[in-house]
Structure 1
């Protein structure tokens, strides 16, 4: 599966609504043409599809954890896909909020479409968060007792997680260190996704 469109944040370098990109900028309806609006709807829908596709891939990989197919490459893939999926969720949530800000006076069809996308994204985030919890639980269960004790004493505080939730691993992590790291990151990501889902549900 290719993640070329996800890496680096698909929406971090441009404003999908055509206005200048700067801190605190809020697009207004007059700056959005009908074709641009439909493009953003399509991009949002495609992102949700990508999230669901990643979930399917993660579910298949989870089945291999603790079996003869469990390899360092598999665990790195699990982590990479989770990090990339987090970026897609963040970007899509931002698009949903921007769409909510600009279509209040739009057609009933657009409003219904946005409502459907909100529901689909919320369901996808819930499914993904539940799966991350399973991955974290399975990874923790596979750790040797000494590794479990060490991980418990080195748990990352929630305040630090909120400041930088998407920090990736070192490029070379092997053996038990990789197992411990994957378990710790997965647990952190579950909390991040829970917070994002709550924020998403508050978008009206």
Structure 2
């Protein structure tokens, strides 16, 4: 029994009503609340689509290698994987943008983004595991079918070769056999390469998401460091203002003392002059 997709139907992430919430942030930096809402809606829809493709691939996996297996089924699997891979790539970009937008958001909005990220990771891991199983089964069944076809053709060629008496005719048969084998090998390699190309590089996407979370944490640490630096500068400035005030008070006292001394000296000089004049 394969594990079912993480989301059976379209889930609701936060507020899903048609009214765009009024979001405001302090600090002078403005952004569109509509962008926050639309990104969340797009990511929610994409997660639902990934899980729908997961179910389609699971049904196709049960048919591969059976009598229901045909080229139409293989083409359908290929188209489904290409479409889903594009959705995964777009969802990854939307999540990166959403994490930038929500940096100045409140706690509820950040929790909503965290839930979307976790749901996307879960859906992506389920899709990737099933995609690998489909690719392995398609390659095994493809090789078995083409080996059987090639063997039947070789047997016909051998009978035809035994019936031919002329050397030129035998060489033509061998040449046709080589051409057929080369064509079959080329077709097999092309199909196997196509199957391998359809497999999504989940590790790369997971590294991008981890880097995105690390960058967000680094931004928070940088903000905290800036706050501590500003706090230290404010305390240092207050200390300097206090020292300047003390210095100014001392300077004023010195001026008062000098002025008093000058006044006393002036009075003494006046008294001396008056005394001399009276004589």
- Pick the TM interval, shorter chain: 0.5 to 0.7
1:67 aligned counterpart, secondary structure: coil
Distance apart, 1:99 and its partner CA: 0.7
Name the counterpart of 2:38.
Answer: 39
Q: Which has the higher contact order (CA 8 A, sep 6+)?
A: 1
- Conservation of the 8 A alpha-carbon contact between 2:36 and 2:102: no
RMSD of aligned residue pairs (Cα, Å)? 2.5
What's the CA shift for 1:115?
A: 0.3
2 CA distance for matches of 1:36 and 1:195? 26
Q: What is the number of residues matched between the two proteins?
A: 149
Is 1:195 paired with 2:235?
no
Give the CA deviation at 1:185: 2.9
Q: What is the TM-score with the length of structure 1 in the denominator?
A: 0.65
Superposed displacement of residue 39, structure 1: 1.8
C-alpha displacement of 1:144: 2.8
For structure 2, the residue ranges without an aligned partner over 5 or more in a row are 1-28, 148-183, 214-279
Task: Kindly indicate which of the two structures has a greater share of residues assigned to helix.
Answer: 2
3-state SS in 1 of match to 2:121: helix
Partner of 2:193: 184
Structure 1 pair 108–179 and aligned structure 2 pair: CA distance change class (3 A): farther
**Secondary structure of the structure 2 residue equivalent to 1:31:** coil
1:197, distance to aligned residue in structure 2 (A): 2.7
Of structures 1 and 2, the larger Rg is shown by 2
The runs of at least 4 consecutive aligned structure 1 residues that moved more than 6 Å come to 145-148, 175-179
Distance in 2 (CA, whole Å) between partners of 1:53 and 1:124 is 10
Q: 1:118 to 1:191 in 2, by over 3 A?
A: same
